[in-house]
């Protein structure tokens, strides 16, 4: 089946065409495009929802045309439209879902609403590397930091989550304290490569708590006091910023890796997926490789760690291609708990 997928939950407009064979559970990306809004939002220091919606509205139609032209397919070759229907920014979601509904009505094809987090959870499947069930997923994307036990497509148990700031938020807020531009995560990672993490002994919140939850607000506060001690962001030298960035990255990644590996042990699930934007962090990947002995690690390709439409297409293929009916009634949902998803009637396995 040929699936046209649309992702517009936050500040990336993404479109992809995916061809999947339900009989084998395999497929391939025919074409994909991602338009980032980073430069647009950078001057505001963060995502402005109304601006994001307008950017999606302008970018989406020509991107759909371009992807279909690249794949050399017409609307008569499209079997379904998959679209992110939540969670995310309401206005941004409505741009994608409204386009999908209109195109489906005109061309007489079904719309398959997809949960954004399920897309991230299953992203390794795009490269044919979805692990055998059960497995643990550390999902670190935007305002989400969670540990999920995956027993089947659509069967997800939340076993740990952040109690305050997510890891991505901690990266961004700490970067702002250092006087770095938005988005902060990539800037911190870039500077950390030449920094000395041992110079600033930052805390590892909840690392020694016997649970799988996270907390990063205390780490952000420690960064604030450390910067103040040096005279504020304006007084920081380039080396100060590099060393502080290295300490921030080390602290966040240490907590993420420790909790993820603990989850694998406690749940007796020796397979671990890392998904979401922070999964692209090279230090996080290196720590997992060095400390994850006895745990089989599965990572999406770098281009599929951040928000993209290919993962939405694959999630739709895995769920609806396995027998789940397209819902008759649905709508955009800015808040959509992952546990509300249910398994399809039959499951696709890689």
CB atoms within 10 A of CB 33: 18
**Per-range mean pLDDT, top range of 24-28, 82-86, 129-133:** 82-86
Higher pLDDT among residues 342 and 150, named by residue = 150
Name 105's Cβ contacts closer than 8 Å, sequence gap at least 6.
none
pLDDT at 222: 97
The stretch 294-313 carries a mean pLDDT of 94
**% residues pLDDT > 70 (the chain):** 98
pLDDT at 347: 43
Span of 20-24, 148-152, 245-249, 265-269 with lowest mean pLDDT: 20-24
Contact (Cβ atoms closer than 8 angstroms) between residue 182 and residue 195? no
**% residues pLDDT > 90 (the chain):** 84
Instruction: Say whether pLDDT at 322 is over 80.
Output: no
The stretch 99-110 carries a mean pLDDT of 97
Which residues are part of a known binding site for Fe cation? Answer: 116, 120, 307
Confidence of residue 118 (pLDDT cuts 50, 70, 90): very high
Which DSSP string do the residues of 256-301 spell out, in sequence order? HHHHHHHHHHHHT--EEEEESGGGG-HHHHHHHHHH-TT-EEE---
Strands, E, within the chain: which ranges? Answer: 2-7, 12-21, 26-36, 80-86, 111-115, 135-141, 144-152, 155-161, 271-275, 296-298
Instruction: Say whether pLDDT at 323 is over 90.
Output: no
pLDDT at 349: 45
The stretch 280-308 carries a mean pLDDT of 93
Which residues are part of a known binding site? Answer: 116, 120, 139-143, 172, 185, 281, 307
The stretch 76-97 carries a mean pLDDT of 97
Which residues are part of a known binding site for substrate? Answer: 139-143, 172, 185, 281
The stretch 266-270 carries a mean pLDDT of 96
Dihedral sign, Cα of residue 100, residue 103, residue 104, residue 109:
negative
The stretch 278-294 carries a mean pLDDT of 92
Dihedral sign, Cα of residue 325, residue 16, residue 149, residue 89:
negative
Confidence of residue 272 (pLDDT cuts 50, 70, 90): very high
pLDDT at 345: 61
Q: What are all long-range contacts of 179-185, with beta carbons under 8 Å and residues at least 24 apart?
A: 179/233, 179/234, 179/236, 179/241, 180/241, 181/42, 182/38, 182/41, 182/42, 182/44, 182/45, 182/46, 183/38, 183/42, 185/277, 185/278, 185/281
Among residues 80, 94, 83, the alpha carbon closest in space to that of 14 is found at 83
The C-alpha atoms of residue 297 and residue 274 are separated, in whole angstroms, by 8
User: Starting from the edge strand earliest in sequence, which strands make up the sheet with 80-86, in order?
Assistant: 26-36, 12-21, 2-7, 80-86, 111-115
Confidence of residue 324 (pLDDT cuts 50, 70, 90): confident
pLDDT per residue over 161-201, tens digit each? 999 999 999 999 999 999 999 888 999 999 999 999 999 99
Domains and CATH numbers, the chain: 2-123+306-340 (3.30.420.40), 130-303 (3.30.420.40)
pLDDT at 45: 87
Element (H, E) at 62: helix 49-71
pLDDT at 210: 86
Contact (Cβ atoms closer than 8 angstroms) between residue 298 and residue 260? no
The C-alpha atoms of residue 147 and residue 163 are separated, in whole angstroms, by 12
In DSSP terms, 214 is beta-bridged to: 162
Contact (Cβ atoms closer than 8 angstroms) between residue 170 and residue 219? yes
Confidence of residue 102 (pLDDT cuts 50, 70, 90): very high
The stretch 138-148 carries a mean pLDDT of 92
Report the mean per-residue pLDDT for the chain: 93
pLDDT at 346: 45
């Amino acid at each position: 089946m040929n699936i046209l997928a649309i992702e517009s939950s936050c500040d990336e407009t993404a479109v992809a065409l995916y061809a999947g064979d339900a009989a084998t559970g395999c497929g391939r990306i025919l074409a994909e495009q991602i338009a980032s809004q980073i430069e647009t939002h950078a001057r505001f220091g963060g995502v402005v929802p109304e601006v994001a919606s307008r950017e999606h509205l302008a970018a989406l139609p020509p991107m759909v045309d371009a992807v279909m032209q690249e794949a050399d397919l017409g609307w008569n070759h499209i079997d379904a439209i998959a679209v992110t229907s939540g969670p995310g920014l309401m206005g941004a979601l409505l741009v994608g879902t409204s386009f999908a509904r209109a195109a489906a009505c005109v061309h007489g094809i079904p719309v398959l609403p997809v949960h954004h987090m399920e897309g991230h959870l299953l992203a390794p499947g795009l490269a044919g590397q979805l692990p055998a069930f059960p497995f643990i997923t550390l999902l670190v994307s935007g305002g989400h930091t969670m540990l999920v036990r995956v027993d089947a497509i659509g069967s997800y148990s939340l076993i740990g989550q952040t109690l305050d700031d997510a890891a991505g938020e901690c990266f961004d807020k700490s970067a702002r304290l250092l006087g770095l531009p938005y988005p902060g995560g990539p800037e911190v990672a870039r500077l950390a490569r030449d920094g000395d993490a041992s110079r600033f002994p930052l805390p590892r919140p909840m690392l020694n708590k016997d649970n799988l939850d996270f907390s990063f607000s205390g780490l952000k506060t420690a960064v604030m006091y450390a910067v103040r001690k040096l005279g504020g962001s304006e007084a920081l030298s380039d080396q100060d910023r590099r060393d502080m960035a290295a300490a921030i990255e080390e602290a966040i990644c240490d907590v993420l890796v420790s909790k993820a590996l603990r989850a694998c042990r406690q749940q007796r699930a020796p397979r671990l997926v890392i998904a979401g934007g922070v999964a692209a962090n090279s230090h996080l990947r290196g720590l997992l490789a060095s400390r994850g002995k006895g745990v089989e690690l599965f990572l999406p390709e770098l281009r599929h760690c951040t928000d993209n439409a290919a993962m939405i297409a694959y999630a739709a293929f895995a769920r609806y291609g396995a027998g789940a009916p397209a819902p008759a009634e649905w709508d955009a949902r800015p808040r959509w708990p992952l546990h509300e998803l249910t398994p399809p009637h039959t499951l696709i396995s890689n």
